[in-house]
Chains A and B, each alone.
Chain A
Amino acid sequence: MTDVHDLLARTHDALGASGVTLDDARRDALLTGIRRRRRRRHTAEALGVCVLVLAVGTGGWFGLTRDRAPQPAQSPTATADPTPTSAPTSVADATPAPDAPGLLPAVVMPAGTLESSTPGWVLTRQAPSYQTGDGEWSDEPTANVVDAVAPDGTRYRVLDLPVDRYVDLVRWDAGTTTALVMTSGPEGRVAARLDLLTGEVTPLPGLPSPLDHVGRTAAGDDVWSDEIDDRLVVHDGTAVVRELPFVRDALVDPTGTRVAGTRDGRFVAVDVTTGQVTELAPPTDEMCSPVGWHGSDVVVSCLGFEASSPVVTSVFRVDADAPGTEGASLGLPVDRLPTGRGWTLADGRIAVGHSLQVECTRGWGLLDPVAGTLQDVPVPAPDVPELSVRVQAAGDVVLVAVSRSCSGDATPLQVLRYDATTGAQVEIAAPPSDADVPAGGSSWATGTVSSVIASR
């Protein structure tokens, strides 16, 4: 009899001795892909959502012929009315927005809707793509639309974009008609402004490509991370204001005056106005990154390795106003340690993912750094093995994007809206129904691909 271990080991050794090497084409693709994903990961963690880059073709909607110009989902009014309406018209009177396979039902957005939006509204982009029977993706999504979702769940169709237009929602201020986005440029992802009324995309001048959004300063400027040239860039929307010393895993504090992160293996804070670097804690051998701010405290999560898989090994907080002092351990239960970028709520708690498992963040919760607790917030279908969760927050509202794949493969997102003051959780974007897959398709690969919660 042959022991299965010996059998597999001999086979493994024989296969390994075959002399196969990584050819140049695969090597180039690998390096390019890793660099792109590292930039995308930083943005995804900053946004708190799983974002996906689609390989799309050109053309119109599935089954329809459309031109490529972005279409506002509402007819422009004959006369411009600068005074926003106090509230959108009744949903019962609303006109259904044009439908396409895989899209969530929406209504045509009445004039003034965006202008009357408040913090807690959500912008989403849907670009449903499906897998064909042989496992390949459909050549193009069935549609590419931007919606605004009100706190009551009403979904307004804002824009019909060309199916080949890649837009990653980054930031949207409530009551405004433009959003900060990432889009495709000649050098890779570029920062741009999306006009939500016309669909026009205007790259922001002076910013390098590629880069990732970090946060905003007290003055309202955006902080961007350039990992190619190792620098932080402060941009006011029209020009670069200043450059700051680079830190990895940068996290802006809620006052917009400091950026925490790691620099040369040390945990530091950078003043966004002066660029002064202050070391906050003694260096460690572990991989530590900021989880969130609580007042002047920074909560830090450190990764180690167990059985060659990354695990969170310690969580502590350091006082940015008392640099150099030893961090205070939070004493959280080991089976629920925070990981990834968190978002500070109005009440000081931090919405953050937890339970890192290889590539998965299996849950999320509300971290109270003072009490040393992490309250788990259950997500629907918690028994799905490949569940991965990302969070984003504004005020007391948390946006949760749930993916049923941890491997980075495209799966339709489920997006939830959680009110931290009431504990109410509402699904605002469900994965498209497989019953809606066009003929020849087997299942949906993507649905909602990007979302952002309105702030300020």
Chain B
Amino acid sequence: MRFSQTAAALLAALSTICVALAQPTQGKSAREALEDRFQAFRLKVGDHFPEVDIHDAEGKRFNTRSLKGKYTVIVNGCLT
């Protein structure tokens, strides 16, 4: 892939990062089907975010409870 095409593709991916694998169900788009499944997941609006030990970008462990104190946005992502 040429660099300019690569850059355009990567920039387009900035708002999404990873491609979903959701498949269409009856009359619904793949995106709608994924959203339905996700909203049915047990974690709901109003629940506390799970407290899990993860890592910062240098590998240092921390718990997600330490994110309290500010509004926080967490978006899942990866290289591909």
Are chains A and B native binding partners rather than an unrelated pairing? no
